[in-house]
Chain A
Amino acid sequence: MQHDDVIWDVIGNRAFCSFKVKTKVQNFCRNEYNITGLCNRSSCPLANSQYATIREEKGQCFLYMKVIERAAFPARMWEKVKLSKNYEKALEQIDQNLIYWPRFIRHKCKQRFTKITQYLIRIRKLTLKRQRKLVPLSRKVEAREKRKEEKALIAAQLDNAIEKELLERLKQGTYGDIYNFPIHAFDKALEHQDEESETDSEEEEEEDDEDVGKKEFVAEDEIEESDLNHSHFDRVEEDESEEEMEEEPEASGSKGKMPLKGAVFRKKRAYVEIEYEQEMEPVPKSKAT
């Protein structure tokens, strides 16, 4: 005989119940057949002979009813009824099966069934949306990769590589006439006399124009040649650089840099000119040929 009150008195109030979870305000019941999840006199599956629940398995809802006659055989105690997938039909099924059962259990069963169907719908909706895939990282592998990256960075010597590439491009003339460094190209033309000479010849023509004015000077005053040419070049080069300066402020529009750059350019220009001066000697020879 099942004495519900006695059972409840023991497990609910006095002694230990392994399914009971006590919190500060409330008690919960962890029994999987519990209909509400709370630890109450009316919700305890152990302390009620007449008891029913709804449980869900892989998207299928079942109505479980306790048959107290089989209390001695706990494995066979619960009877399972498969509920229809249609919500209304399932509710009717619950009503049919739990006819003449206490109001409380019928009501709670229906409530539980509603909740379950709602969360099943949500699961189906979520699976259609984007699912984030978590990829586990192995600490060892990550550390190894990090180390490899550091070594690769050292081996890369990025700054040097970039500078080399830029200078290569300058030599090949991808920048056109923006930068006026004709000397190197001039040397190349003298040494190799390759295809590069086509671009260099333009530069040579520019120099010719300059020379035309000065050639007379050179011929006449050979003693003061260096001084005169030097001073002349100073002025000419500065004019050129000034022209460049005027172009660039309009084009780039970055104001902070311009005056600095101009100063740099001018100083460097002066420096370059001295070398230029020395290189000018071969010019007459090439022109002769």
Chain B
Amino acid sequence: MDVVEEHDIQDKHTKKKTKKPKKQPKPPHENGNDSMIEKTEPEHVDAPAEFSFPPTFSVSEIKNKQRRHLMFMKLKQEKRKQKVAIKKKKKKERDALGDKAPPKEVPKTIENQRVYDETTVNPEDEEVAFDEGTDEFSAYFNRLTNPKVLITTSDRPRGRTVRFCNQLATVIPDAHVYYRRGLALKKVIPQCIARGFTYLMVINEDRKVPNGMVLCHLPDGPTAHFKVSSVRLRKEMKRRGKDPTEHSPEVILNNFTTRLGHSMGRLFAALFPHDPQFVGRQVATFHNQRDFIFFRFHRYIFKNEKRVGIQELGPRFTLKLRSLQKGTFDSKFGEYEWVLKRHENDVCRRRFNL
């Protein structure tokens, strides 16, 4: 039976391919034929019955590749049709019920299904508040220090990296770019501290493209090592605005929920001066999504109290945290607070750290 059916179907297909839609007047297959040729009819309740495959049938068991392909395509079409039919039915039911219809189901997203991280910070958590009152950033948040950033690169930077550093320096107020002349970071750090810098940012380069960033909070602060990707310089931005002005931008930090994310947020916040100058209407955003931190720099304008227009200036890049180390930069003897271990995150797709 199966073989015969397949054979007939195969014939029909081949005939269709030769662009001769012969309506074969074979009574048992008539409906099926119609369903094959008139694909636009979604609800052809009879057709699936004709072509309902016996339960033990599997497309992968056909040895002939062409035939197998055809059967698979048919299977797909059937499934699609069924799906559309179900949707229509549901819609009808929903319309029929009107107001009494059950609320629309929310589709599952990775954010919805995220594995609950036990280090998620509760806004009222006292312990966290106490920690933050006494950690390395407390000096900044208590307005004792003003941020001063030193931006440098790895050895022998290429044009793209240099331009990126310069653009970063325009985005972050009070940032200075220095050429790295093969100096060791451990020797650079005491000099920076002596000159009153609060942040050291090193952009690492590979194959003429920036690919890593080491962000070191200076007096004795944590060192974060990021992987940098998708760097877009100002030239490459579409519909961008004019160059950023000297005003201090506002800072937006989105989605930093866990304890680690919290410290990251503070790390980024301390890069910028305390009081943003609203006159400048510039905003720097660090948005965390699935452990990727997207940086954007915009100029905004309020059209009315319900609409705001934003225009992207400035470079954009994404960061992924690789490791967070407690003291200043010391890769050998430093104490690592957190290190990215790939196998941890490979286990569950819905587990994130930030």
Q: Tell me the A residues contacting B by CB distance below 8 Å.
A: 129-130, 132, 141, 145-146, 148-149, 151-153, 155-156, 158-159, 161-163, 165-167, 169-171, 175-176, 178-179, 181, 183-185, 248, 251-254, 256-257, 261, 264, 268, 272
B114 to chain A, nearest CB (A): 11
Query: Once the chains bind, are A158 and B301 in contact (CB under 8 Å)?
Result: no
Q: Which residue of B lies closest to A132 (CB)?
A: B155
CA gap between A167 and B287 in the complex, in Å? 17
Can you list 17 A-B pairs with a CB-CB distance of less than 8 A? A129-B184, A148-B290, A149-B229, A149-B230, A149-B292, A151-B290, A158-B285, A158-B287, A162-B283, A162-B285, A169-B250, A170-B308, A175-B278, A176-B278, A179-B305, A181-B302, A183-B305
Quick one: which of B248-299 are within 8 Å of A by CB?
250, 252, 254, 278-280, 283, 285, 287, 289-292, 294, 296, 298
Task: Out of B111, B182, B308, B320, name the residue touching A145 (CB < 8 Å).
Answer: B320
A117 to chain B, nearest CB (A): 26
Set of chain A residues within 8 Å of B111, measured between Cβ atoms: 155
Most buried by A among B304, B305, B306: B305
B37 contacts chain A at the CB level, 8 A cutoff? no
B128 contacts chain A at the CB level, 8 A cutoff? no
B111 to chain A, nearest CB (A): 7
B300 contacts chain A at the CB level, 8 A cutoff? yes
A145 to chain B, nearest CB (A): 7
Query: Once the chains bind, are B300 and A166 in contact (CB under 8 Å)?
Result: yes
CA gap between A254 and B246 in the complex, in Å? 11
* Across the A-B interface, the 7 shortest Cβ-Cβ residue pairs: A181-B305, A156-B289, A152-B290, A184-B305, A152-B289, A152-B292, A251-B279
Set of chain B residues within 8 Å of A248, measured between Cβ atoms: 279
CA gap between A185 and B250 in the complex, in Å? 22
Task: Out of B290, B294, B301, name the residue touching A261 (CB < 8 Å).
Answer: B301
CA gap between A167 and B307 in the complex, in Å? 7
B109 contacts chain A at the CB level, 8 A cutoff? yes
Set of chain B residues within 8 Å of A159, measured between Cβ atoms: 310
Query: Once the chains bind, are A256 and B242 in contact (CB under 8 Å)?
Result: yes
Task: Out of A153, A261, A268, name the residue touching B289 (CB < 8 Å).
Answer: A153
Query: Once the chains bind, are A162 and B298 in contact (CB under 8 Å)?
Result: yes
Query: Once the chains bind, are A149 and B182 in contact (CB under 8 Å)?
Result: no
B342 contacts chain A at the CB level, 8 A cutoff? yes
Set of chain B residues within 8 Å of A153, measured between Cβ atoms: 289, 292, 294, 318
Query: Once the chains bind, are B292 and A148 in contact (CB under 8 Å)?
Result: yes
B110 contacts chain A at the CB level, 8 A cutoff? yes
- With A148-B292, A155-B109 already in contact, the answer to whether A165 and B252 are too (CB < 8 A) is yes
- With A152-B290, A152-B292, A155-B290 already in contact, the answer to whether A162 and B245 are too (CB < 8 A) is no
Q: Which residue of B lies closest to A185 (CB)?
A: B305
Query: Once the chains bind, are B280 and A252 in contact (CB under 8 Å)?
Result: yes
Question: Interface on chain B toward A: helix, strand, loop, or mixed SS?
Answer: strand
Set of chain A residues within 8 Å of B242, measured between Cβ atoms: 254, 256-257
CA gap between A81 and B155 in the complex, in Å? 43
Digit string of B95-134 for contact with A (CB within 8 Å is 1, else 0)?
0000000000000011100000000000000000000000
Task: Out of A175, A183, A252, A272, name the residue touching B245 (CB < 8 Å).
Answer: A252
CA gap between A249 and B310 in the complex, in Å? 20
Set of chain B residues within 8 Å of A183, measured between Cβ atoms: 305
Query: Once the chains bind, are A166 and B283 in contact (CB under 8 Å)?
Result: yes
Set of chain B residues within 8 Å of A264, measured between Cβ atoms: 301, 303
Query: Once the chains bind, are A158 and B296 in contact (CB under 8 Å)?
Result: yes
Query: Once the chains bind, are A163 and B308 in contact (CB under 8 Å)?
Result: yes
CA gap between A175 and B276 in the complex, in Å? 10
Query: Once the chains bind, are A162 and B289 in contact (CB under 8 Å)?
Result: no
Set of chain A residues within 8 Å of B290, measured between Cβ atoms: 148, 151-152, 155
CA gap between A184 and B303 in the complex, in Å? 13
Most buried by B among A175, A254, A256, A261: A254
Digit string of B231-254 for contact with A (CB within 8 Å is 1, else 0)?
000000000001001010010101
Other A-B pairs, 10, CB within 8 Å; known A153-B294, A261-B301: A149-B318, A158-B285, A158-B294, A161-B285, A162-B287, A167-B305, A171-B305, A176-B278, A253-B245, A268-B304
Q: Which residue of B lies closest to A146 (CB)?
A: B229
CA gap between A145 and B304 in the complex, in Å? 40
CA gap between A251 and B254 in the complex, in Å? 30
Set of chain B residues within 8 Å of A129, measured between Cβ atoms: 184
Task: Out of A152, A162, A170, A251, name the residue touching B302 (CB < 8 Å).
Answer: A170
B156 to chain A, nearest CB (A): 11
Quick one: which of B60-90 are within 8 Å of A by CB?
none
CA gap between A181 and B306 in the complex, in Å? 9
A193 to chain B, nearest CB (A): 19
Query: Once the chains bind, are A167 and B294 in contact (CB under 8 Å)?
Result: no
Q: Which residue of A lies closest to B206 (CB)?
A: A137
A181 to chain B, nearest CB (A): 4
CA gap between A130 and B285 in the complex, in Å? 35
Most buried by B among A141, A149, A170, A181: A149
CA gap between A175 and B250 in the complex, in Å? 11
Q: Which residue of B lies closest to A151 (CB)?
A: B290
Query: Once the chains bind, are A130 and B184 in contact (CB under 8 Å)?
Result: yes
CA gap between A158 and B252 in the complex, in Å? 11
Query: Once the chains bind, are B278 and A155 in contact (CB under 8 Å)?
Result: no
Q: Which residue of A lies closest to B184 (CB)?
A: A130
